[in-house]
């Protein structure tokens, strides 16, 4: 055998290997639905159901409900308006990265690429979907954000989008929306909180949603040539730039930021929620979750965050509580009733404080206190067509031991505007009532919050809660803070001189 021949053989071998390899890759990309079924039954069926109909044991506890794969409708796709179904890449991405703001987790940390491709093949088979779409959304030439583009985008947004997403994009418009699967209730996205966008808040992804729409929901494709609302590529980029510009960063929860930073004011406290004095006060955002610890429990809240500010002077303390709620729930109001799915209740918010500021770590139980550690609850309600807004003070030593006082020494006044509640509560720092917590400057004091969305069936024990956080009435810095470090510096310098002198003498 001569060298040439060996080389040729090697070459042949390599080509064969490459062919086998590429064939395997192509096969892997398609995924094996039988292998996918095994993974599905271990990981996915609990929510999406054993037949893929979105009816697993967890389904009733979720909002949004898990996807029904038997319908073949997929919300998030990059295929264009002519193609009702997604690319396999789109499904693969949702499995890998999950969907923010829902219970769908990202699976790329526990499932291999192969497992996830097999899942894609299996969930497609549940609706008999085959093949790939014919064309992607056309992105044209991306237009960068600028004041001019945002202005154009805003005009288009008010004209095309505000009907559902609201004048300020908080998803608060007055329309009752349903999905195409089982007529489940849907709410338009609050666009000022992009960190909760299901897929991502990347401009390209927002562009994709505007172009492809969200199948199964009332969100249309703005590429539909038959629609009067059709947008050109350029117009879509303007809308994207507007949407990314209305982000409300103050509403974003910052990990580790757990303290309400009460600021001391020299003069009068703010008069109402819109007082200019609130502007310079630092806010803290807290996550709200369903009340799942005591009967009746609540699993599907509509509000996921509350933002809190506080100020105080010699006499009083005032809180400003702000949260995005898509509906102003007014029992007795026909229009408000129309938006509710069942019974319509008042919206409400509450602050919980321990009666005694803990000296050590031990606090009252965070759910309405406990028998040896009572709590105060200030409970504001939004009122009905027949009754005004109201605020009550409650003394509680546990879920079953809540007493409402006849007279409230807390004032509360709220105002609803375009998808946001703002409620101000005021109380004297010190009171004569031994059952009241007495505020003290400079002491970390536990505080917790709760909200009720009356349109979402929230009432009584069905509401959102937080765990214990802190409030600190930060005392004015004063002269001590400057004086002590100067004294220390002086002493150290004196000691240095002494050491130097004794060293030089020797």
Partner 1 sequence: MKISKLSLFALLTIGAYLVLKIVVPIIGRFLHPGTWPLIPTSLLKMYMLFIIATILLYLTSKEESAKELISPIKATLTDPSKRMLRNIIFAVIPLLAAYITYSSVAPSYDAPVELRSIHPAPPSSANIYNKSYNLNSLKNPLRDDAANYAKYVKEGGEVYFKNCFYCHGDKLDGKGHFYQGFDPQPLPFMGTNTIAQLSESFVFWRVATGGPGLPKEGAPWRSAMPIWEHFLSEEEIWKVAMFIYDYSGNKPRTF
Q: Which stretch binds partner 1 (CB under 8 A): 102-110, 140-148, 167-175, 427-435?
A: 102-110
475 in contact with partner 1 (CB under 8 A):
yes
Q: Which is nearer to partner 1, 134 or 504 (CB)?
A: 504
What is the SS3 assignment for 261?
Answer: strand
Q: Minimum distance from CB of 168 to partner 1 (Å)?
A: 26
Binding to partner 1 (CB under 8 A) within 229-288 occurs at: 253, 258-259, 261, 287-288
What is the SS3 assignment for 3?
Answer: helix
Q: Indicate if the alpha-carbon torsion angle 244, 179, 324, 367 is positive or negative.
A: negative
Q: Minimum distance from CB of 110 to partner 1 (Å)?
A: 6
State the binding string over 300-339 for partner 1 (x if CB under 8 A, else -): ----------------------------------------
CA gap 435, 414 in Å, rounded: 26
| CB 424 within 8 Å of CB 320 | yes
Backbone angles phi, psi at 322, to 5 degrees: -125, 135
Tokens of 325: 């709620």
Q: CB atoms < 10 A from the CB of 192, how many?
A: 22
Q: Minimum distance from CB of 70 to partner 1 (Å)?
A: 20
| CB 325 within 8 Å of CB 306 | no
- Cis before 296? omega within 30: yes
CA gap 221, 78 in Å, rounded: 12
State the binding string over 337-366 for partner 1 (x if CB under 8 A, else -): ------------------------xxxxxx
Q: Minimum distance from CB of 491 to partner 1 (Å)?
A: 8
Q: Which stretch binds partner 1 (CB under 8 A): 129-137, 236-244, 310-318, 466-474?
A: 466-474
Q: Minimum distance from CB of 267 to partner 1 (Å)?
A: 21
**Strands 305-312 vs 259-264: parallel, antiparallel or unpaired:** parallel
CA gap 111, 95 in Å, rounded: 9
Q: Which is nearer to partner 1, 6 or 491 (CB)?
A: 491
| From candidates 36, 169, 220, 290, binder to partner 1 by CB under 8 A | 290
Q: Which stretch binds partner 1 (CB under 8 A): 84-92, 186-194, 214-222, 294-302?
A: 294-302
CA-to-CA separations, 296 to 2, 292, 460, in angstroms, rounded: 86, 8, 9
* Residues constituting the chain: 506
Q: Which stretch binds partner 1 (CB under 8 A): 15-23, 167-175, 379-387, 469-477?
A: 469-477
Q: Which is nearer to partner 1, 28 or 292 (CB)?
A: 292
9 in contact with partner 1 (CB under 8 A):
no
Q: Which is nearer to partner 1, 66 or 414 (CB)?
A: 66
Helix (H) or strand (E) holding 17: helix 3-30
Q: What angle in degrees, to the nearest 10, is found between the helix axes of 113-126 and 3-30? A: 50
Q: Which is nearer to partner 1, 197 or 222 (CB)?
A: 197
Q: Minimum distance from CB of 419 to partner 1 (Å)?
A: 22
SS3 labels along 111-122: CCHHHHHHHHHH
7 in contact with partner 1 (CB under 8 A):
no
Q: Minimum distance from CB of 56 to partner 1 (Å)?
A: 7
Binding to partner 1 (CB under 8 A) within 151-210 occurs at: none
Q: Minimum distance from CB of 396 to partner 1 (Å)?
A: 14
Q: Minimum distance from CB of 421 to partner 1 (Å)?
A: 19
CA gap 446, 449 in Å, rounded: 11
What is the SS3 assignment for 376?
Answer: strand
Binding to partner 1 (CB under 8 A) within 441-460 occurs at: 442, 444
| From candidates 28, 250, 292, 498, binder to partner 1 by CB under 8 A | 292
Q: Which stretch binds partner 1 (CB under 8 A): 161-169, 218-226, 227-235, 494-502?
A: 494-502
CA-to-CA separations, 37 to 26, 105, 272, 438, in angstroms, rounded: 20, 19, 58, 60
DSSP per-residue letters across 434-487: TTSPPP-TT--EEEEEEEE-GGGT-BTTBSEE---EEEEEPPP-TTHHHHHHHH
Binding to partner 1 (CB under 8 A) within 15-74 occurs at: 43, 46-47, 56-58, 60-61
Q: How many residues bind partner 1 (CB under 8 A)?
A: 65
110 in contact with partner 1 (CB under 8 A):
yes
DSSP per-residue letters across 181-204: TT--EE----TT-GGG-SS---HH
What residues line the site for partner 1 (CB under 8 A)? Answer: 43, 46-47, 56-58, 60-61, 102-105, 107, 109-110, 253, 258-259, 261, 287-290, 292-295, 297, 299, 361-367, 370, 373, 442, 444, 465-468, 470, 472, 474-475, 477, 480-481, 484-486, 488-490, 492-493, 496-497, 499-500, 503-504
């Amino acid at each position: 055998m001569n060298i040439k021949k060996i080389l040729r053989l090697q070459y042949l071998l390599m080509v064969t290997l490459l062919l086998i390899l590429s064939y395997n890759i192509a096969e892997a990309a398609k995924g094996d639905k039988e292998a996918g079924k095994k993974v599905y039954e271990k990981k996915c069926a609990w929510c999406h159901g054993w037949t893929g109909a979105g009816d697993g044991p967890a389904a009733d506890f979720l909002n949004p409900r898990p996807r029904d794969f038997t319908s073949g409708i997929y919300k998030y796709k990059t295929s264009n308006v002519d193609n009702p179904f997604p690319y396999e890449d789109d499904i693969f991405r949702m499995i890998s990265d999950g969907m923010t703001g829902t219970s769908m987790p990202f699976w790329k940390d526990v499932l291999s690429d192969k497992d996830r491709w097999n899942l894609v093949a299996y969930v497609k088979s549940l609706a008999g979907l085959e093949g790939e779409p014919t064309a992607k959304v056309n992105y044209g030439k991306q237009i960068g954000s600028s004041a001019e583009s945002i202005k154009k985008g805003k005009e288009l947004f008010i004209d095309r989008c505000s009907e559902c997403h609201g004048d300020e994009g908080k998803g608060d418009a007055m329309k009752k929306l349903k999905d195409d699967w089982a007529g489940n209730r849907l709410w338009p996205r609050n666009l000022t909180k992009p960190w909760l966008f299901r897929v991502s808040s990347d401009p390209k992804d927002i562009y994709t949603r505007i172009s492809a729409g969200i199948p199964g929901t009332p969100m249309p494709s703005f590429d539909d040539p038959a629609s009067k609302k059709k947008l050109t590529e350029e117009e879509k980029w303007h809308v994207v730039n507007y949407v990314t510009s209305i982000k409300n960063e103050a509403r974003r929860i910052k990990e580790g930021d757990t303290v309400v930073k009460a600021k001391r004011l020299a003069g009068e406290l703010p008069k109402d929620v819109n007082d200019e004095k609130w502007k310079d006060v630092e806010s803290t955002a807290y996550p709200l979750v369903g009340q799942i610890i005591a009967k009746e429990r609540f699993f599907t809240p509509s509000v996921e965050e509350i933002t809190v500010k506080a100020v105080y002077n010699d006499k009083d303390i005032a809180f400003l509580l702000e949260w995005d709620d898509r509906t102003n729930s007014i029992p007795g109001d026909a229009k408000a009733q129309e938006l509710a799915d069942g019974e319509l209740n008042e919206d409400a918010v509450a602050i919980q404080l321990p009666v005694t500021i803990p000296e050590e770590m031990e606090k009252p139980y965070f759910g309405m206190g406990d028998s040896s550690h009572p709590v105060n609850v200030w409970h504001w309600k939004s009122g009905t067509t027949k009754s005004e807004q109201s605020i009550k003070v409650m003394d509680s030593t546990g879920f079953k031991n809540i007493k409402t006082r006849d007279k409230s020494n807390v004032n509360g006044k709220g105002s609803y505007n375009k998808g946001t509640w703002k409620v101000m509560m005021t109380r004297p720092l010190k009171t004569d009532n031994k059952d009241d917590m007495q505020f003290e400057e400079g002491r970390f004091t536990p505080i917790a919050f709760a909200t009720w969305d009356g349109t979402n069936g929230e009432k009584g024990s069905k509401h959102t809660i937080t765990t214990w956080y802190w409030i600190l009435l930060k005392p004015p810095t004063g002269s001590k803070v400057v004086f002590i470090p100067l004294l220390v510096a002086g002493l150290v310098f004196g000691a240095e001189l002494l050491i130097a002198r004794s060293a030089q003498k020797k």
